[in-house]
Structure 1
């Protein structure tokens, strides 16, 4: 007897030592569950709370806290997976004994009898191979885990960790993905589908095998009925119900150019932006973004149609034909005048074909779109809209590479007016009048003021009058806010607030830069309003809406711009070839981009009829009749006194 006792003691000690050895190998791994910190999906929302995109690394997971999980979800889960979950200590002894008997009869591991606690451990820490040592590790860790975490904490980790098929990790992710519902909105059948998935998520995925998913869900419903946790009516309703299931992409990215830019803006300050579980509220208006997309496509299609028309009419041999739209693309950005909030952002016509963001990354010459800034400089120096400018041709000599050259600029219309008022020169975009104006005020003064207005890399020569510098549509949009926002320049921005996983919020505010008094800025607005009414921007006109805008067309029609604004919004549109090849001479800023501006705002008014329609005239702006026409002036930009026929005083009406 002594030897038998000794034998079993040795066996027991050996078994204990073996168990301790196993536990020592894995005991620190349990911290991964205790200090649960999974990678979470960051979600982007538009200004109205509509989901714009889900961004994640490897695992798409939207976290849900235990207190936000409906009791019916918990009941359904433990009913089908671990009925005695709230009674056992991490291991269900009865179930293990039954499983051991089956395993012995089969002479291999055929049944696991894992509790939810064990399943969580297996999912996060251990392999899925069916070995006795792996099972022992699982049991040891389960017993230990239940001494550290509460049952509720274990369930919260389980329901956020496990895979639910279709790329969804965590039950809330699956609920939003499969049914487009939050957990509290689910009915019993939808809950049953979800809790039945972890056993074989790929097989039971309702987007792949809805029939088998429903069979598995009915097993869950029947189990609930057997346990007496639902009544006959609930049982019958759930069995007969077939839910609508959505088969969509994981990112659901509705505005890829927007998301790319937002991520680029945030990545330096928030390194874990793609997996930190942030809720990022954007300034974007998704409805307006869709209108902008269609408008940009509309302009693109029209340019292509005109190219096709010329191709047919020219009837050139194929080898002689030059496609002027071979690499055609465009960009569009809309912001709020007063805040700089970006409402729409399209860096190209088709993101799938090119993800290069032309609004942010592309540097192009603005052409005549630069002129309002030069004319503003003149106005601030005492010129007025009625000041006469000289619209005649001049020849300029210069030296380049030790070679003397001549430059003889022309007006687009190839004619001369002699004398022309500053207003008429700008609204008709007269090149020669502008060059002579800059000559009069001094290139150094014009250069200095362009720098003050936010332009960079400005050349110190007369080419600035024709917009020879390079600038992105984004930067040009920022510059134009000095007009649309009455003298205060604002920085366009796209993120309005960020909420982290701990529900802490950061709110972003507009960044303002005072440039000039509002009455001075308004003088340009009044001229640019005329530009749309009867000048180069006529094709941008929208009935019932005040619009101020400027076209821009660079040499050889390489770039076509329209920069315009209403009393509340500002939009900059650009078209051109990505390889900088010229478009056809017909593709001007007014025709190519101006028509798109009008198309966009006509559609925008349908979804936002409440927007302000008319410009307000700031205090300090006066108007008089001069040479039979009403003209605006300020104390800085006074009208020529001898020509004033009638002083109408200050006014508040446009």
Structure 2
């Protein structure tokens, strides 16, 4: 009995000694590590690494740049099911402990003693927050002691809700997803509040090991962990039996969801990224900046459809260029094929009903086809497929998911073999004329809006990736804000931005600058210029330059208005000679063009200057707004992660009612600089009426399909038909489009056929439901009846009289002269600078 008392006495002494020793050690560790611990208060103002996000002006997501996908959420936004799931999985006693779990730490120590290695850290949610925000991930005892001490301090300073909020926003959940909101998007493509209990439990299972329990990579293991978490929730009384049963029976629906922009504008996104990086530095990818562009989401969507469809239509007009790859074997298991032929292996080939047509097809091993299709890019609605059979007037193809689709004969017949821009082969008699089994090709839906969600229930047509390129730009004439921009057929096919970076010969869309300079110099829309042959001789040139009209004909004396809407080249050259090249260049620089880009010779009249669609839209914006210089811009404002505005654009805006000397105008709560007038508004008004005639009577007649009287514009086609353009506007919107090959060569079409339909498609969508708006006629203009042949005032009762608009000081006299002769004019060296464009026969002249 005494021995027992002695034993317990010494046991108490031992335990007390161990406790004292432990206390001393803990105190010593605290004294040593205390000065090394970070300030817990900084967690209240922690800056999470979030990517750069770019939005349209109506706050629709365009793009995201940054390695870490994260969208911080507040505690109130966290679904209750997720909080319960994460507690069941990670820290059941979270709301009751003081930051550490003694049992969990003891269990971790025991596992260490048994195995000799760290099996688990016994970490609470508070400890994980301490580690993720304030410490490293090194598995050392020193870090663990720091983690415990920080956790104890955190519990004294922060509320449980604040700690939980920090936790759910920081944890890494695989696939570049940091935080639960990003995980909801990455794995399910949904908003956090839209997820089911089973989906939330799946995400709650990821913090333990994001790669091991990833539902995309390891669905079986992820399912087991999800169901264990749901079972724990049920056993802890968090959910009832019915909810539990429903959750564990829900199938895995996770799959990778890449970033889903609400508006497709990758070319603009890259423009913005480069601009912001230059202004703010490389931390833009982690600092959570939000950039709001000037893009209009509806305009951008209309531009995307218009350009892509326009290029596809052009491509079809010029015939079939061949398959992407030929004779791809369906399967690569040659040994199995041989055994099958010998009858030694039954591959189980049985007739089955095709999903696409209702016809009987043969089941086959298409595993290699699926492999090839998975590695072949998809471009928008263009879908890669492989030909399963091509016989007579039938075509059946296989998709990446092993579905069979029948392509109707009427959606194949366009594919006459391409030879050159002017020549296609004979009409098809059978699909086998151009296709055979194993060919890799593209198909596209017959229309943009499917009648059903099922792939095989849509009508698909034979297609191909265009080798022609294009660009489209739209701006607001009032302040130069970019409304839409598309820099090519597909950004992921080729990232070069042809709208913003590309410079090509402008062709006849440059002519309005020359004609406006002429109006400013005293000419009128009724001025008569002789459309007659002209030859330029220069001893420095190996040959003479004989410019001509696109028709190859000469039309004699021609009014300025008529010459513009018919795009007469020889008249344009004579106008430039009359006003002088220097005068024209000085006038062009008022629009914002770089004078170094403008050739100092008479070819300038025909648009030999190399300019981008962005620059041409800028020029036409000034014509559209009545002659005010606006500077294009595409970033409206930049905000930091707290919503503080770091940059706010202050564009010059048109103010028609402002006093002449005003330099500021208030619109709403903001003050803007006033856009300066760079031309007589009367000249601009006359030019607008001339450009409206381009559409009503001239080369832009296709635009009459819009049924509007407020639109104006100009076609353009360069030498040898290498570039096709159209630029046009009403008072609310201006747009310019270009079509051509990246390596300049003949496209076989004028601007009126290749580029104008793209512009029309955009305007039809963008202007739908909007009232007509044209420039009001300014004072100082008069309308006069003139002789249509001479441009002079008409005599009373004259039958060929027409109405023309003049500035009051330029009203013509009543006089009729005979100017019907059209002699050839020879201009010797010294009479005018020689042009730099190549000689060209009449059908290939600038138009």
TM-score under structure 2 length normalisation: 0.67
Contact 1:380 1:636 in 2 (8 A): no
1:280 and 2:291 matched: yes
- C-alpha separation in 1, matches of 2:173 and 2:801: 73
**3-state SS in 1 of match to 2:610:** coil
Deviations 1:133-152, CA, capped at 9 Å, x for gaps? 55334323433444554433
Alpha carbons of 1:502 and 1:4: their partners in 2 closer, same or farther (altered >3 Å)? closer
Pairwise CA distance, 1:638: 3.7
**3-state SS in 2 of match to 1:550:** strand
Contact 1:52 1:286 in 2 (8 A): no
Kindly report which structure 2 residues correspond to 1:569-648, keeping only aligned pairs within 5 A, or say none.
569-580=733-744, 582-584=745-747, 586-602=748-764, 604=765, 609-613=768-772, 615-620=774-779, 621-627=781-787, 628=800, 630-635=802-807, 638-642=810-814
Q: 2:534 aligns with which of 390, 394, 397?
A: 394
**3-state SS in 2 of match to 1:480:** helix
Contact 1:331 1:574 in 2 (8 A): yes
Q: 2:712 aligns with which of 548, 567, 573?
A: 548
Alpha carbons of 1:306 and 1:23: their partners in 2 closer, same or farther (altered >3 Å)? same
Where does residue 61 of structure 2 map in the other structure? 51
**3-state SS in 2 of match to 1:542:** helix
Where does residue 357 of structure 2 map in the other structure? none
- C-alpha separation in 2, matches of 1:643 and 1:173: 78
Pairwise CA distance, 1:94: 2.8
Q: Which runs of 5+ in 1 are unaligned?
A: 317-324, 645-654
- C-alpha separation in 1, matches of 2:476 and 2:519: 26
Where does residue 372 of structure 2 map in the other structure? none
- C-alpha separation in 2, matches of 1:467 and 1:174: 53
Where does residue 300 of structure 1 map in the other structure? 311
Mean CA deviation greater in 342-351 or 623-632:
623-632
Where does residue 652 of structure 1 map in the other structure? none
Deviations 1:465-520, CA, capped at 9 Å, x for gaps? 11222211111110111112222232232233333211223543543342234443
Alpha carbons of 1:108 and 1:463: their partners in 2 closer, same or farther (altered >3 Å)? closer
- C-alpha separation in 2, matches of 1:47 and 1:284: 6
Alpha carbons of 1:637 and 1:192: their partners in 2 closer, same or farther (altered >3 Å)? farther
**3-state SS in 1 of match to 2:616:** helix
Deviations 1:513-539, CA, capped at 9 Å, x for gaps? 422344432211211111122212223
Q: 1:349 aligns with which of 489, 514, 539?
A: 489
Where does residue 688 of structure 2 map in the other structure? 525
1:311 and 2:419 matched: yes
- C-alpha separation in 1, matches of 2:194 and 2:695: 51
Pairwise CA distance, 1:463: 2.1
Contact 1:387 1:639 in 2 (8 A): no
- C-alpha separation in 2, matches of 1:398 and 1:21: 93
Contact 2:50 2:69 in 1 (8 A): yes
Pairwise CA distance, 1:372: 0.5
Where does residue 649 of structure 2 map in the other structure? 508
- C-alpha separation in 2, matches of 1:310 and 1:327: 12
Kindly report which structure 2 residues correspond to 1:115-264, keeping only aligned pairs within 5 A, or say none.
115-124=124-133, 132-210=141-219, 212-231=221-240, 234-235=243-244, 238-239=247-248, 241=250, 245=254, 247-250=256-259, 252=261, 254-264=264-274
Contact 2:714 2:728 in 1 (8 A): yes
Alpha carbons of 1:187 and 1:368: their partners in 2 closer, same or farther (altered >3 Å)? same
Alpha carbons of 1:231 and 1:404: their partners in 2 closer, same or farther (altered >3 Å)? closer
Alpha carbons of 1:574 and 1:638: their partners in 2 closer, same or farther (altered >3 Å)? same
Mean CA deviation greater in 453-462 or 141-150:
141-150
Q: Which runs of 5+ in 2 are unaligned?
A: 1-9, 320-416, 426-464, 653-674, 788-799, 817-847
Pairwise CA distance, 1:560: 1.5
Pairwise CA distance, 1:172: 1.7
Pairwise CA distance, 1:27: 2.6
Aligned residues between the structures = 627
Q: 1:557 aligns with which of 721, 728, 737?
A: 721
- C-alpha separation in 1, matches of 2:516 and 2:119: 83
- C-alpha separation in 1, matches of 2:708 and 2:228: 62
| Cα RMSD for the two superposed structures | 3.5
- C-alpha separation in 1, matches of 2:37 and 2:225: 36
Alpha carbons of 1:446 and 1:187: their partners in 2 closer, same or farther (altered >3 Å)? same
**3-state SS in 2 of match to 1:423:** helix
- C-alpha separation in 2, matches of 1:37 and 1:631: 69
**3-state SS in 1 of match to 2:495:** coil
Alpha carbons of 1:542 and 1:183: their partners in 2 closer, same or farther (altered >3 Å)? same
